[in-house]
Amino acid sequence: MTKVEHLDLKDITRPGARCTISIGKNQSRVKWITCGLLDISSPDDYGRRTVAARMGRGATDVEEDSAWAFSFDVIALEFESMWNGDASYKAYIAIPHSDWDYDSFKVPLPGHDPFEGSETCTRCSEPHPIVQKYVPDSNIELYKRLAGQYVYITVNPHEEG
Ligand SMILES: [Zn+2]
C-alpha cells in the first residue's frame, strides 16, 4: 500500500462540488486529496491530461491569473462509474520522462497555507486575495513515490466544496 498524507484542500479551492482523489486500487485505496471544483484538461498527443483545482476566494497572482491549489498529470484516464450522480474516473499518475516533467507535479505539503502573506487586490470591483505563488512548488519527492500509481477520482456534485 502506498502511504500518502491526506490533503484536505476544501477550504482553499472553489466550492461547488466535492472531489476526492485516492491512490491505489480497491482495498488498498488511500484517500489523498479532498477539494472543491476540479479541472481535467483534454489529452495531449500522448494521452496525458492535467488534473488541477483553482484556489477559492477569487485568488489570483499579481497578473490577475487564477491561482492553483495543485496540479499534476495523469495518463489513461477513463470513466469508471456513476453511482447516484457521483462520477468516478480512474487513471495513472503520469511517469516523468524528463527533468521538465518532474516540474509538472505541483502538490502542496500538508498544512501549507497558500494564503499566508497574501495581499488584497483593490484594482478590481470585488476585492480578492493576491497570493505569492501562482501554483505550489513542485513536490519531486512525492512525485517519485506516486509516479505510475493508480489514481481514482470521484466527483460528487451534491456536496459543497
Ligand atoms: Zn484584482
Q: pLDDT tens digits for 88-125?
A: 999 999 999 888 888 999 999 999 999 999 999 999 99
The 10 Å Cβ neighbour count of residue 61 is 15
Span from the CA of 54 to the centroid of ligand 1 (angstroms): 16
| Assigned C-alpha cell, 157 | 456534485
**Cα of 2 from ligand 1 centre, angstroms:** 41
Q: Is residue 123 part of a domain?
A: yes
Average pLDDT, the chain: 94
What pLDDT shows up at residue 57? 95
- Counting the structural domains of the chain, the total is 1
Q: Is 105 inside any structural domain?
A: yes
2 part of a folded domain: no
Q: Which residues surround ligand 1, an ion (CB under 5 A)?
A: 121, 123-124
3-state secondary structure of 89: strand
Please report whether residue 112 resides in a domain. Answer: yes
Contact 82, 89 (CB under 8 A): no
Instruction: Note down the domain range covering 149.
Output: 7-156
In a domain, 55, yes or no: yes
CA 64 to centroid of ligand 1, rounded, Å: 6
Residue 153 identity (one-letter amino acid): I
